[in-house]
Structure formats: structure tokens, C-alpha cells
Amino acid sequence: MKKLGDLTISTPSDRELAMTRVFDAPRELVFAAYTKPELIRRWLGVQNGWSMSVCEVDLRVGGAYRYVWSKPGAPDMGMTGIFREIRAPERIVSSERFDDPWYPGEGLATTLLVEDAGKTTLTMLVRYDTKEVRDAVIASPMDTGVAASFVKLSEVLATLRG
């Protein structure tokens, strides 16, 4: 298990990576921030000069999402996936595949939102095709990117709570 600020990262199995953080907001707000393009653009991967130039979400089972991040002087980074399961406001299951894959295959992300006393624990469990892929993701700077995005998400949620 690894702590990075308020983010906890663990490996529950040979092919899985789990990321958990508690947010001071009801899960309906966290779910909205996770699924509405106008909110996603404000927190997901938008640090160190990166912005989200494309954010499309067709929030239905079988629907797709598409994200593209841009940074001056760097090639765009795109990711797409298909929603496999949606149970608002508690569960989202979707695939993820990068346009310029930095790992082979695709990930399957299950995001769970559990509320207790107005705070929401978000757990994202990502299953990869192999242990080697999971280990390559762990060795990448993914953890600092997720931690920074979740800090931004916390800030967005604070503005939504008023």
C-alpha cells in the first residue's frame, strides 16, 4: 500500500490497482463531477500546463467517452472508453484505452462511491490484461497525476457545495 497525500494506492490482486480517496462532499456531487463534461474539464488531468481540449461523455451503458489533453509544445494525449455499467450515483464501470498506448491492451475501471455522513469514499479499481502491464502502470508517474487530479476534484467539489 502507498499513500500519496490523501490518495491510497494498493494492489488487491496481480492484475489490479486500487486508488482510494475520501472527499468532503455527498456522492451525488462526486458522481456529477465524474460524469458531466463541464465539471470533468475542471479537474481531470489539468495540471502542469495541460488542459482538456476534448471531453465527450455519452453516459449510458454502451456509450463512449473521449478525452484529449493538450499542452503547448507537447503532443496531444487522448483516451477513450466504453461504459459497461452505470448505477448512479454509486458505480461506474468503463474501459480505458489510450490513443498512443503506453501500456498494451486496455484497463477496466470500476469506480465505487460510498457516502457516510456527507463524505464520499471514492475507490477506483483498475484491472489490466496482465501483471506486467499493471506493474508498468505502477512504475509510471500515474500516481502523482491521479493525486493531483483528485486535489483539483476536491477543489471543484468545494465550489459545488458552496
Percentage with pLDDT > 90 across the chain:
90
- Structural domains in the chain (count): 1
25 inside domain: yes
pLDDT of 161 over the 80 cut: yes
**Containing structural domain, residue 137:** 2-45+85-161
34 inside domain: yes
| CA 56/CA 70 separation, integer angstroms | 15
CATH classification at residue 151: 3.30.530.20
pLDDT of 162 over the 80 cut: no
pLDDT of 129 over the 80 cut: yes
116 inside domain: yes
DSSP 72-124: TTEEEEEEEEEEEEEETTTEEEEEEEESS-SSSS-EEEEEEEEEETTEEEEEE
145 inside domain: yes
111 inside domain: yes
54 inside domain: no
The pLDDT value recorded for residue 42 is 97
**What average pLDDT does the segment 127-144 reach?**
93
